[in-house]
Structure 1
Amino acid sequence: MSGTEQLRDLEADAFVRARDEGHPWFAHTGHAARLPPRAAEPCRTADRRSLVAGGGFRQHGGHGPGTARRLPEEPPGRGLPADAGLDGGTRRRTPGLRREEVARLAGISVDYYARLEQARGPRPSRQVLGALSRALRLHDDERTYLFHLAGEQPGPPAGPSPHVSPGIRHLLDRLDDTPAFVIDAKYELLAWNPMAVALMGDPAVVMPESRNMIWNLFTGPAPADPAADTFADECVADLRAASVRYPADEGIRSLIARLRAASPDFTRRWDEHQVCVRRSTSKRFDHPVHGELVFTCEVLDIADAGQKVIFYTAEAGSHTAWVLCSLRRQPAHAV
């Protein structure tokens, strides 16, 4: 039986026993995944955040009275009341939020919001601008633009986005010979491609709240590789940099608190106050069929979303490159 056929016959239990054995998704080194017959499709995350106002606060025609206009470049299906937890009703002339709905979500009066739209009210405070940004669910660039319109400097972004853009998901799909995945600033695994599944197993079988790489690194089995110590230092220093960039993000603060309570090793490293942003590094796997695999991990920083795309590449002509070619020939299937 060939190595590829042996690989296809292995059970898909890698993630079920990740906490017992240490899984390559969640550690610097470890055993490569035991794979199902076919690799799974990448994780898909839908971004349905709405944007219902643009071009300053002034109302534009063509959308009916009392309805904040939507930017013309916004795709259909965004700006829906349901996205903000509101009842859309049956007699709505446009799909966007009404003026009174935006005001209610922002915690301000309808009259004040109407005057802001018409550019005849006092300059809004930073608190009001922040409330409107949250009510309108603005992206970081849109939030910055809103603050600048009002003559204010925006504060730090609220936190890393949990939504993977369609362009990045398309990039993952196109990389049919390179394992790749997306993590956010707190090392939450957000999306991955079929080659990553073929190499390391399917994260879809793990509950989303259990897909944090740093949590599993410090609360799972200790890796035997000496290089893992450096990897752990880099992860903690990177998390500290994220905590400074996103000081108000509850997810990052909660993760740090839980790690300090659960892992003396994390606490020791955290108290060293090292700061760095992770870039290229190396990673080693002990594959159940093909033995030791060595990868160079390249990092693409998506700064505006607080995310990173991680690519696993192999030296041309190496044993690891040959293994990637064999994994590429495995057909993918949807989860």
Structure 2
Amino acid sequence: MPRSPKRRARGLRREELAQLAGLSVEYVLRLEQGRATNPSAQVVAAITRALQLSRTERDRLYRAAGLLPPQDGVVDNHVPAGIQRLCARLGDVPIGVFAADWTLLWWNDMWNALHGDPSTVPERERNLARMLFGGHPYLRPMRSAAGPEAFEVAIVGDLKEAVARYPGDAALAALISALRRTSASFDRLWGTVETATLTGEEKTITHPTLGEITVDCDVLAVPGADLRIVTYTAATGDPNAAKLDRLRTTGITASA
């Protein structure tokens, strides 16, 4: 958050915590006053990321909320504080951090400008597979240089890999079951695609103001945490790099 000379005390203001966690100020106030007594695991996870808690601090917060901390053997949605700080320092690059089930956990302003603002959709819907196969309007049109359905195939193969690593994760199993039930395309690919790990490729995203932007999409693994850092870049001097520069300098958002 920007530093202000008027700030009298260290730490986040209530409004800032609400903004970083994607919650309403009123709900944060209810939590402070003890009027919201049953926060969901999704809310606690969002506050954990906003406060950049360590794993031990995260577990204490879950217990304070009357919830069991995330257990081994299930997909972890914790973004370590160091990863958050690293990504925050790369503000010129659109960055999103995803869990193993492709739930979007963290993103920056450039991600908003390129893709649209994820905070406009419920947290449960911020899953890339749900957006791809559910046709959610948040996700802007995007195609892969590898050909039609290449991106969808890669996501399905990576989800199969996640299921193999987390066979006891009920939420992941429910996600797969729901997608197979509601999307004929996902169900078809699930029955035919081999297990694979998603890697980077060239993608073209259609922006409502700047038109098509072709970028290199790289997927970076986080050692010690089953996370994916997704970045979008273009070579210096490329017309697409100029479009990314315009996104950064003008702050074009999802409303554009």
Q: Unaligned regions of 5+ residues in structure 1, if any? A: 1-39, 52-76, 88-104, 106-133, 140-156
Deviates more, 1:267-276 or 1:181-190: 267-276
Counterpart for residue 157 of structure 2: 237
Counterpart for residue 188 of structure 1: 103
Counterpart for residue 84 of structure 1: 63
Deviation of 1:290 (Å): 2.2
Counterpart for residue 233 of structure 2: 313
Closer, same or farther: CA 284–185 of 1 in aligned 2, 3 Å: same
Q: Does 1:288 align with 2:208?
A: yes
Deviation of 1:330 (Å): 3.5
Q: Unaligned regions of 5+ residues in structure 2, if any? A: 1-18, 23-45
Which letter maps to 1:210? E
Deviation of 1:282 (Å): 1.6
CA distance in 2, matches of 1:280, 1:79: 33
Q: Does 1:300 align with 2:202?
A: no
Higher gyration radius (CA): 1
Closer, same or farther: CA 294–41 of 1 in aligned 2, 3 Å: farther
Q: Does 1:259 align with 2:179?
A: yes
In 2, are the aligned partners of 1:160 and 1:307 still within 8 Å (CA)?
A: no
Q: Name the TM-score, length of structure 2 as normaliser.
A: 0.69
Deviation of 1:266 (Å): 0.8
Q: Name the TM-score, length of structure 1 as normaliser.
A: 0.54
**How big is each residue's C-alpha offset from its partner over 1:222-257, in whole Å with a ceiling of 9 and x where there is no partner?**
969583411111110000000001111112101110
In 2, are the aligned partners of 1:181 and 1:193 still within 8 Å (CA)?
A: yes
Give the counterpart of 1:171 among 66, 81, 86. 86
Closer, same or farther: CA 224–177 of 1 in aligned 2, 3 Å: closer
Closer, same or farther: CA 86–171 of 1 in aligned 2, 3 Å: closer
| Percent of paired sites with the same residue | 32
Deviation of 1:287 (Å): 2.2
CA distance in 2, matches of 1:86, 1:186: 24
Deviation of 1:190 (Å): 0.6
Relative contact order: is structure 1 or structure 2 higher (C-alpha 8 Å, sep ≥ 6)?
A: 1
In 2, are the aligned partners of 1:41 and 1:193 still within 8 Å (CA)?
A: no
Counterpart for residue 10 of structure 2: none
Counterpart for residue 134 of structure 2: 219
Count of residue correspondences: 204
Counterpart for residue 324 of structure 1: 244
SS of residue paired to 1:243: helix
Counterpart for residue 195 of structure 2: 275
Deviation of 1:138 (Å): 8.3
